[in-house]
Structures are given as C-alpha cells and as structure tokens.
Amino acid sequence: MCGILAVLGCSDVSQAKRTRVLELSRRLKHRGPDWSGIYQNGDCYLSHQRLAIVDPASGDQPLYNENQTIVVTVNGEIYNHEEIRKSLPDHKFGTGSDCEVIAHLYEEHGENFIDMLDGVFSFVLLDTRDNSFIAARDAIGIASLYIGWGLDGSVWISSEMKGLHDDCEHFECFPPGHFYSSKTSSLCRWYNPPWFSEAIPTNPHEPLVLRRAFEDAVVKRLMSDVPFGVLLSGGLDSSLVASITSRHLAETKAGRTWGAHLLSFCVGLEGSPDLKAAKEVADHLGTMHHEFHFTVQEGIDAIEDVIFHTETYDVTTIRASTPMFLMSRKIKSLGVKMVLSGEGADEIFGGYLYFHKAPSKEEFHVETCHKLKALHMYDCLRANKATSAWGLEARVPFLDKEFINVAMSIDPEWKMIKPEEGRIEKWILRRAFDDEERPYLPKHILYRQKEQFSDGVGYSWIDGIKAHAEQRVTDKMMQKAEHIFPHNTPKTKEAYYYRMVFEKFFPQNSAKLTVPGGPTVACSSAKAVEWDQAWSKNLDPSGRAACGIHNSAYQQRHAISSKTIPAKIIDDMPWMIASTS
C-alpha cells in the first residue's frame, strides 16, 4: 500500500504551501518508502509515497493520461488492469502500472467508471481541463482513506489522519464504496451490491462454486513483480490462503523469478497456539516458514507506536495490531514487500463464536452484513496500517468483491451453526475445501475451532497488557473517565490507557470521532448481548471471554468431528486452539 495526500482548492499557491504539502506527505513515507512524487496545478496539489509492487521501474506517481490533462494519485492494486487496457485500444499507456488505467477510464467514461475496477484502492483524480476532481475508496474499505476540510474551503484527502489532522478544521473517515465529486461537493455511493440491502438471500450452497470463487480471489492477488509471502496463523482462513497460494505460485511471475517455494510467516509468544498450529500447516504445505517470537514486554513497548500508526483506540484492534506490527517489521527485513492474509472470512460466514447463539437465519445474515460494513474500522484498518507502518502490503482475498457476491448470496440457513448436525462455525467454507482426492489441508486443520488473533498469539499477551494498564491507570482516573472522555467513555483501564495514548497523538475532536463507539461487549457486537443477555456483563472483548462458547465448543468437538471427519483422524487430533485470521 502506498500513501496519498491531496490538497484541492486551497487559497495559497505559494512555494511555502508546496513545501507544507511535501512536509505532510512525508508523514506517510512509511507507507511508500520506494519513491515520492508531487504534482501541482494552480490551487491543487497531488502527492504520492510509493511502495513499488507492480512495475517498479516505471510506475512512479502521480500518473497521467496521454496529454497529461488527467492526473491521478493512487494507493492500491487494480487486478483487472490488463483486461481494461485491452478494452481501451485507442489509448496509449505510458507505464506498466496497474493503476494507470484509472486515468484512461475516466477520460473514456467520466465519473461512471469506478465499479469497472476490480481491486483495492483509494485515489484522487484531477481533471485539469476544468479543475474538477474526484476521490474514491474501494468497496469494503481495505485501503485506508480520510477526508478533511480547511477553513479556506479546501478539500484534503489522505491515506492516514496524520497527513491532514493538523491542517483541517474538520476531518473524518472516507466511507468505503463511495466517491467524492467536486462538481457536486458531495459523497456518492458507487458500491451497492444485492447483499447491502440485507435482504435474505435464497441461493443454495454449491461447494464447488464457492471453492472456485475463492481460488480465483487468491490467484488474482498473486499479481506482483516483487517477492511475496503469506501470513500463516495455522487457523482455517490463513491456512486456506496459504494452501491455494502454494498450488499456484509456480504460475506467477514472482514464482518463475524467485522460485516456487512459498514464504510463510507467523508470530506469537514462545509456545503460543498459533506458532504450533502454523508450523504444522507449513510442514504440510512445504512452505519456507518463518516463526517470529515476541515477549509481552516487547509488545507493551510497541503500543504507543502501534496506536500512532493504526490511529485508533479500539481495544481489540490494538491487541491484534501489536503482534502484526512487530511481525511486519521482521518480514520487511527479509526483503518481502507483500503478503496475503486471511481477514474477512469470519464476517462473511459468521465465524465468531457468538454466532453460535444466533436465533434465526435472518438475524444471522443481517449480522454478517453489519460486520462486513464495519470492517474498515476494525480488521481492515489493522491489516492495512499495521503492515504499512513498515512498507509492507497486505492483500486480503476473502474480501474480493466477486467472492463476497458469491458468498453473501447463499441462503444463510447453510451458514447457521448446528452442532447436532455436525455443522461448526464456517462449515460451508470448510466443506467447500474438503477434497478427498487432492486435500487442501489435513482434516483436523480444516475443522479447527476459531480463535481471535490476539488470543492465538499467546494468552499471556492480553493478560500482560491488562496488568500494564492497571499500573498506568488508577481507580480515581476511572471514576472521572466520563468527564475526561465524554465521547466513547472507556469502561476498562486497558481502554483508558489506549485512549490516553491516542489523544496524545491526535487531540482533535474530529480524531476521536473516527473511532467506532458504543459499549465494549463480548465480540464487540451489540448483537452478542441481544442474543445472550449474559454477555452484557462482560467487558472483555476477547474471543475466550465469549461466556462459555469458547470452552463449550471443545466439549462438543468430538461429537461434531465424528460426523464430519474419519474416526482414524479423530483419534490423532489434539484439537489445539488457533487463530483463523
């Protein structure tokens, strides 16, 4: 992921303003350490910090159309760029960059082209012919983006808050699936798939259709001119990504150039569940596996940096971002610039343990829709910013636009968790990849229970940061919390500690409003409380705190397994815990 910053329609066109834009753009250099560029046309500035994944030699930005009347700065990857190029035979392309097609599509179709893009992106496009501009963000919000307004009437667009928060009177998160047009001075939704209305789908579950859709989502994300790998926690989601990638690596340019041995990476405390599970999967797939250890103290020492880079005070996000942040630095040190990761499956398929309590297929489906719509504030934010902090790009195939359309069109009755029928969480995904002739994964990995990433890296990680917060936040401070933080008042000392750090870096009122609010409950969902009132008393959003589901699922495991897995394999199963992220 790159870093973009645009200042549009400002009253100051002096050299001092250009210098200020460059200074702010450098705050995003961690996202794109390979090159930087800036374009100025009158009162509009477009700047870019590049992470070179496709066409490293000639794809520097900003990018242009043939006569340079259309200028664009882009953060993202356009996976169907070759098909788009073929559809524009009258256009001349100046680079091999996948992002250049945006300028030419606009020239051909005006503002009505964004849904033609298959990829992950945030961009700003300036039409110098009339000095109009548009800004847009991808369907789910995988690429981070913020929009702000200056007192002089200027519009600011930045990949991260730190690029604009000091210079804007007001700023906010740029909504996913929207574009902003200067012609109307308003945001407009461009992404409006059938599932967005939350109408209950009725399509039957066809395992092979689901399997092919996900394989296609993974394969298109292997587009790279630099070495890449996979994040492997040993849970279902990351293991499926790794399995499919290992099957297709030899067909890619990277595989032909650097060899068809897949690199895999895992992080955890010494002896953690994830490390053990990931090693087992890596051995099965034959990956070149890298295991990174961290201590609780090292994690605590990194928390301020993590909050600065992730720009949030959400408890679960910070817990999970810290080990990912530490791992990303190690991965980048090995010369890897891109990784595939498993975010999104739990939202699509109802993989979180509180979905065990879903009272009906209708409520199950509506909750998955809500979770998907909120991902840009949680797991997408974590995956994007914790990796980009070190100039590493994370790609998330479960959030592929076409795959989501397939998976969210399935009758949610098939997604319901029914232990008496041998259906555990994400059963239809597991079934889709349960191939007897050419197994993607061993059975006991394919049917391993869900656990949150922040738990899987080692239980003492959460215990350690709670103890640290106890030392930093007094009882008296908690008593006054609602007066100090009237918006999103922290309910625990851990939450209070994160909030103090956040406001040190981002003291503006606009900043605190970019973080999702509401009471902290198990699984960070009001639905969890609605489905089981006992959860309303739980202030810990950890997966293992899901009021008995985490442990009781193990008690059901043998009964479930006997219906879905051969007895010989069951006898050898450790049923270890592992993250599915």
Catalytic residue numbers, as ranges: 2
Structural contact between residues 256 and 290, judged by C-beta atoms closer than 8 angstroms: no
Q: Say if strands 44-50 and 35-41 run parallel, antiparallel, or are unpaired.
A: antiparallel
Could you tell me the CA-to-CA distances from 432 to 102, 213, 300, 445, 580 in Å, in that order?
A: 35, 11, 40, 14, 16
What angle is formed at CA 558 by the lines to CA 554 and CA 562, rounded to 5 degrees? Answer: 145
> How deeply is 189 buried, as exposed, middle or buried, from its count of CB atoms within 10 A (0-12, 13-18, 19+)?
exposed
Cα R_g (the chain), whole angstroms: 23
Residue 50 one-letter amino acid: R
Which residue spans within 65-196 are E strands per DSSP? 70-78, 119-127, 132-137, 146-149, 155-158, 170-173, 178-181, 186-189
CA-wise closest residue to 416 among 367, 366, 349: 349
CA-to-CA separations, 183 to 72, 179, 187, 331, 362, in angstroms, rounded: 17, 12, 11, 43, 40
The dihedral built from the CA positions of residue 253, 257, 260 and 262, taken in this order, carries a sign that is: negative
The H or E element that residue 339 is part of is: strand 338-340
| Phi-psi category of residue 148: left, alpha or beta, with phi > 0 → left and psi -120 to 50 → alpha | beta
β partners of residue 393: 338
Q: Which two tokens stand for residue 222?
A: 């292997």
- For residue 202, give both structure tokens: 């009725």
Q: Is the peptide bond before 62 cis (omega within 30 degrees of 0)?
A: yes
C-alpha separations of 333 from 2, 32, 242, 329, 390 in Å: 18, 15, 21, 6, 9
Q: What is the DSSP string of 194-228?
A: GGGGTPPP-BPP-HHHHHHHHHHHHHHTT--SS-E
Distance CA 214, CA 396 (A): 11
CA 422 to CA 565: how far, in whole Å? Answer: 10
Query: What are the residue ranges of helices labelled H in 417-548?
Result: 427-432, 443-446, 453-456, 459-472, 475-479, 481-484, 493-505, 509-513, 526-531
Phi, psi of 410 (to 5 degrees): -80, 135
Q: 207 Cβ partners below 8 Å, 6+ apart?
A: 428, 431, 432, 434
